[in-house]
Amino acid sequence: MSNYLALWNDGSYKILGRDSADVIKSGDYKISALEIEEVLRQHSDVKQCAAVGIPDKVWGEIVGASLILNKKSSDFDELKTWLKAKLPQYKIPRRFVVQDELPRNTLEKVTKKPLLGLFLNL
């Protein structure tokens, strides 16, 4: 769900755009978190995943991925190499976190704000 951002200034609103957890703004790119998740789920080690934008002073945001794996550990270098054949460099997650489960709301949709908190606390 997107929220619109606006600024009230001198008696009028200035529309700033939409705030969405599914759009990652990195450099001049608007990256679809859903596209990254779709590609990650194709890897044999990945059972479930969610991608988020992590605040970054240089890029605005960088891509992070929370993973639930089919096995106890994964070689992230191998995963990144595999992703390079599927995605452009700017869409490849720079940080990974492995979890037993993804946070979900009452409708079972993944909630991305708690995921972002995991990356911010690393």
List, for residues 88-115, the tens digit of each pLDDT value: 999 999 999 999 999 999 999 999 989 9
pLDDT band, residue 10 (cuts 50/70/90)? confident
Q: How far apart are CA 23 and CA 16, in angstroms?
A: 15
The answer to whether residue 70 is domain-embedded is yes
pLDDT at 1 (0 to 100): 45
The answer to whether residue 108 is domain-embedded is yes
Domain that holds residue 25: 21-120
Task: Report the CATH number that the domain containing residue 89 is assigned in CATH.
Answer: 3.30.300.30
pLDDT at 17 (0 to 100): 55
- When divided into structural domains, the chain yields a total of 1
Q: What is the mean pLDDT of the chain?
A: 87
Whether the CB-CB separation of 39 and 88 falls below 8 Å is answered with: no
Q: How far apart are CA 78 and CA 103, in angstroms?
A: 26
CA distances from 118 to 12, 46, 47, 85, 103 (A): 37, 19, 19, 28, 11
pTM, whole model, 2 decimals? 0.80
pLDDT at 9 (0 to 100): 75
**Helix or strand or coil: residue 56?**
strand
- Does the pLDDT at position 63 exceed 80? yes
pLDDT at 15 (0 to 100): 62
